[in-house]
A and B are shown apart, each in its own frame.
Chain A
Amino acid sequence: MLLASLIGSFGAVFLKMGAAHLNRGFRYIINWQLGLGIALFVGSSIPFLMGLRHGELSVLYPMVSLSYMFALFWSRLFFGEPITKAKVGALAMILAGIVCIGAGGR
C-alpha cells in the first residue's frame, strides 16, 4: 500500500512536469512525462488492488492519502514550492478526515 501511494505521488509529479509543456501550446499535450504520469497512476492501482484483497478498506484508504504527503515533499524538491504552515495544517486535517471516514466505513 505504501508502494501504491509512493507510485501515485510520482504520477502526480510527472503530470505536473508534463503539464508545463502545455504552456507552449495545447498540441504539446502528448509528451512522455504526461504519458508516464498517467501510466504511474494506473500502475499504482495494481498494488492497491493487491492490498485490497488482504487488508481492510478502512486501513487501506488512509494509506492512499499518504501520497498527498509524498507529493508535498516532491513539490518542494522538484518544483521549489514552499512548504508552509498552512499547507501542512490543511494536509493534516485532510489526512485526519480520511482516517475518520475510513474508521466510519467498517
Chain B
Amino acid sequence: MASSASVVPRQASRSNKSIYMVLGCTVFAAAAQVLLKFGANHAMPTMSLADPSTWKPFLVALLGNYQLLLGYTAHSCNALLLILALKDGELSLLYPIIALTYVWVNLLSMYFFHESMNLWKGVGIALVIAGVSLMGWASSRS
C-alpha cells in the first residue's frame, strides 16, 4: 500500500494512446452535433420565464426530446475522454486534433441532412486529415 502511494509522475508517454483518445473525442463531438441538430428540429412548446405555467410542459418536452439528451450525453463523454487524454498528452498536440470533428460533421451532414459535397469541402477535409496525421507523426517523434 505504501509503495503504490509513491507513484512516479508519469511523463508524456511515447505511445499514441492519448491521440487515439482524442480521435474518439472527435467522434463523440460529431455525433453530439448531429444529435443536437436532430433534437433542435423537434417541435417544442414555447416557454416564457415570466409565466410559471409554461415551465412544466417545456420541461416535459425537453426530457422527451431524446435526441437532444443523447446529444448532451455525447458531449459529456467527449469532455470526459478529452480530460483523460490531456492527463498524459501534450495540449499543443492534442487540442488541434479536435479539428477532425469538422470532417466527421461534414460527412455525417451529407448522409443525414443531404448537404452537398463540393471541391472546397473536399480540399478542406483532405487538409485537416493531413494536418492531424502530421500532428500524430510529430508526437511519435518527439
Binding site for B on A (CB under 8 A): 9, 12-13, 15-16, 18-20, 22-23, 29, 34, 38, 41, 61, 65, 67-68, 71-72, 74-76, 79, 81-84, 86-87, 89-105
Contact = CB atoms under 8 A, between A and B. Distances in A.
Given A86-B138, A100-B121, A94 B127 contact: yes
B131 A22 contact: no
A24 to B, nearest CB: 8
B134 interface: yes
A90 B92 contact: no
Dominant SS at the A interface?
A: helix
10 contacts: A68-B95, A68-B96, A68-B98, A68-B99, A71-B92, A91-B96, A93-B127, A93-B131, A97-B130, A105-B121
Interface of B: 7, 9-10, 79, 82-84, 86-87, 90-93, 95-96, 98-99, 102, 106, 118-132, 134-135, 137-138, 141-142
A87 B92 contact: yes
Contacts of A94: 96, 99, 127-128, 131-132, 135
Contact of B120 (A16, A20, A93, A100): A100
B124 A97 contact: yes
Given A75-B90, A97-B124, 4 more contacts: A15-B86, A16-B91, A91-B131, A99-B124
Nearest to A105: B121
Given A68-B95, A97-B125, A19 B132 contact: no
A71 B90 CA distance: 11
B86 to A, nearest CB: 4
A68 B131 CA distance: 12
B86 A90 contact: no
B131 A97 contact: yes
